[in-house]
Every structure is written in C-alpha cells, then in structure tokens.
Structure 1
Amino acid sequence: METCSQPNCNNPVSKPGHTLCYNCWKTANAKPTIKTIISPKPKIVNSPMLLSATKISQKLNEQNYSVHRNNVNRILSELGLLEKKGTDWIATRRGIAFGATQKNDPKTGNSYVLWSPNILENRIFLEAIKNIISETTDSNILETKSEQSFREKFRESAKFRTTDGHWVRSKAEVMIDNWLYMAELVHAYERRLPIAEEVYCDFYIPSGKVYLEYWGYENDSKYLDRKREKQRIYQQYELNLIEIVDENVRDLDDFLPRILLTFGVQVS
C-alpha cells in the first residue's frame, strides 16, 4: 500500500488511490473556525422632545405670553429661521443653527419644522414676540432699561411726522416712509434686528424680510464708524439689506421698485 505524500509522514494512505493518510487528510480538510462577533448594543440617548409651532404656542401661553399658534411660524419666518414655499415650511441655515429639524408629513407630503426646547429660552425669539405681538400680559417682556434709554433718546431726535403717523429724524426719512406708504408696502420704522446685539434698522419690510438703512451723515466720523459696524452685522447675520443714500432719495420711484424686486417684493 502506498504511503502518505506529506513530508515526514510514512503512514499508509487511507484508501487505495488516495495520496494522504487519514490524519493528514483530516488536517487538510478541516473547516476554518468562525468567530462570532457580537456587536455592542447601541446606547440609548434620551434627546429632548422637539416642539412643533403649536407646542411652542402652548408653552409660551403657559408662561403668560399671549401668542396664537398661527403666529409662531410667522415670527420664526421674520427672524429668518423659516421660509414658506407653497404649503411647506422650510428651515433656513440660520434656523438649523437655532435647533430646527426638518420633517415631512407622510400623509400629506408637506414639509414642516420642529424645534429644540431651547428656543423657548432664546432672547432673540422672545424679543421678536414682544415686538410683533401687540398685547401681552407678562411683565418679563417689558422694555429693558437699555431699550427704554434708546427709546427716550430716539423720541427726542424724531421731529418729523410721516403720512402714516411715524415720527422720524430727517426729511429724507419722511420721503422714504411716505414712499413706502403710498406704495402700499407694510413697513416698520426703527425695528430691532432679530439678533443678540441691540441694533435697530431704519425701516423694515416684512413681506420680503428686507431692512432699509438710510446713510445721511457721511461727514461725521463717529457716524461712519457706526455705519461700517452695522454693515458688518447685516453681512454676518445674512440679513437682506437695502442701503439708501441722498442720491437714491431723489429718485425713489426708480431706485426702490428695482432693488426691492431683487428680494421678491413687487411694487405695482
């Protein structure tokens, strides 16, 4: 009988016609050992419950803020945190930074946004509520001392009254305000920007989320420093800004309709 063909093995082959003995054949045909890898169980992280616009309204009303649920998205939109596209609400890049989470309703296909509970403590959001909602019962959202100081100083310098009743500081601002009024554009005067810093714009047009600044004191160094700082702020927070100088004031009928259209505001 033939012997095993493995080196240094002289055992007889297991069967006639084979080249290996039983032990060498068993070693050569042994199945590889399979190690079972047990994946670690994922850790369950308890994240805070996200809030819908309706839930935000309920939470605010519990704190004596009188805010109807239909106004919540409008306020968030004015802050530049949301955009409405048809029936959808879309979170902006700034909204995501505020804690927005984009969702889609599987039944209707409509997009909506949920918010981190932290938004209920966000000073910018609460200030916007104070500015937009006319009636409130909470003393916590009354003007701060710094805001009162600003308003007192402003009232002293606002000596010109516009057609729609605004008190403004210059004849140029009268012309701008009257033009917006006659163009039937809803607008606010001296509206606080939706940012942490206490900064006020000259005019605000909510339909396009557009801020208007009239630069009228180009020969004052302190004014120019403040102008540059405000321009930086507008750029930093990516707010829609229209800058008006004296040359533009003399040609508002041509200048404003053309530039407002670039922000989606059409003047008839």
Structure 2
Amino acid sequence: MAERHISTTALARLINKESKELFILLTTGGWIVKVDNHWQLTEKGKFEGGIYVNHPKYGEYIAWPESIQQHPLLKLLPEAPLSATNLAHKWDIPARLVNLLLAEKGLIKKHIRGWLITAKGKKMGGQQQEADSGIPFVTWPETILDEPELIASLLQITGDEGLAGHPTLDGHSVNNAVQRRIDNWLYLTRVIHARDYSLLWDLDSAVADFYLPDAELCIECWADELGLENNRAAVISGELEKNQAYKKHKVAYVEFRDENIHQVDEILARELLRRGIAVY
C-alpha cells in the first residue's frame, strides 16, 4: 500500500509547527523553490519524497510522504507556535502577565474565559487556538520575540534599573526598580491605584507608595538604592515610623523589597483575592 502524501501546510499542522516556518526551512534546505509565485520541487525535494498533486479545486501543490515528519531537517524548525506559557519562560515573567501585556498592546482581547486574537494580533502572526475544554487561546511565531514594542514593555515590567526616573507603562513616575515593577503589574492587571497617596488621620499622616482604593490596601516599596549607606539610619527610621502609623490606624499594607519583588504576581494576586478582587 502506497504511503499517503500530505501538503506542506498539512505537514506543518501534523507536527504542530507554523506553516510559514516550514516553507522557509524547506527553501533554505534546498527542497523547494518559488518560481513565478508558485512553489516547485528541486531535485533534492524529489529525492526526499516530494511529489506534485493536482486538486480539482486548489490546483497543483507539493505533497510529502507522512513519514517525512521524522526527517532530521524538520528538527531544525523553531519552537513556534509559542503559547503564553512558552513566552513566559522565555521572558521570565508569569504567564498571566504575558497575556495581559499582549492585551495591553492590542494583540488579544479577553473572552468570557480565555483570549481571542485581534486583527493586529493576526498581522503579527498570531493564531487562534482552542483547548479541549473549549477555552480559546492564542499562539505566536518566534518573530514575536523580536518585536521592539514588546521588548521595551518587558524592560518596564521587569523593572530594569536603566529605566529609573522614566515613566512607567501608565505614565507614573517612580523612584526605583521595585516601584516600577509594582506600578506596571497594577496597570497590566487593571487594578486602580494611586501613587504617593496621602493618608491623613487626626494627628498622624503618611504617604503610601501605592494605594489601591477598591482593596483598601497600601503597598510600600523598600529598595536598596545607590547612596543609601549615607542615610541608612534615616531611611530605616522613616520605614519604622510609617509601619507604626499603619499598625496604629489599622491600615492594611503589603511590603516589597529587592529580595521578594520577583514574587509580585503571586503575592499581590493572593492579597487581592482575599479582598474579593480577582486578576486575570
């Protein structure tokens, strides 16, 4: 029984790869060549099992034996399509923030559950997918990793020190990398927040780094900044004074430092959920 042959697009789908990437690989590998806007087999492509098939509706196209999926050349294909989880590993941020960042850039939009691709996302090579549960999600080609707009936002999200003094994603000014990561997390998760918020009581007052009105929660950021050695005593005294004021007036607050800022997604998502606010 002759082996079944499938189109290049069907082959890409079979091995869960981008068809565009497969066409590029077969071209650089010398298996196919484009002539007058039509794909043609080279002698190498024919040797590897490629044939021409005529379809009554789609016309002539190149087809490959199904066994070709085991060929060593195909192992050189990029990892794409990349899911939010794949991008999270590459960008070193939580998968939740990957989708929220892509949504902020207008590439996807929130569904009842899951995410739907936008016209802008399609232009960037995204593809709409659906899990077995029916929940929609989007996958991306590896070219998304080189998008300048996304790279710039990633530097913001990760609190790059070189950006100190520059506005955050929502335009707020911050004093250090810890504040930057907090502000950008709050912005991406659509949590209403104020910067340098004045808290006034009868005889006391304090200025919170961040205040979340819906959660009635303050956030304080204590960063090891340059030059801190010169006024460490004053900084520690101010920190203790503010903490005492919070405790005296029973104000809920969360503290972040350089050593726990990498847990911002886990800590704030949990704190907000305790106060009836879910972030996605």
TM-score range, shorter chain: 0.3 to 0.5
What is the TM-score of this pair, normalised by structure 1? Answer: 0.39
What is the TM-score of this pair, normalised by structure 2? Answer: 0.37
Higher strand proportion: 2
Which protein has the larger Cα radius of gyration, Structure 1 or Structure 2?
1
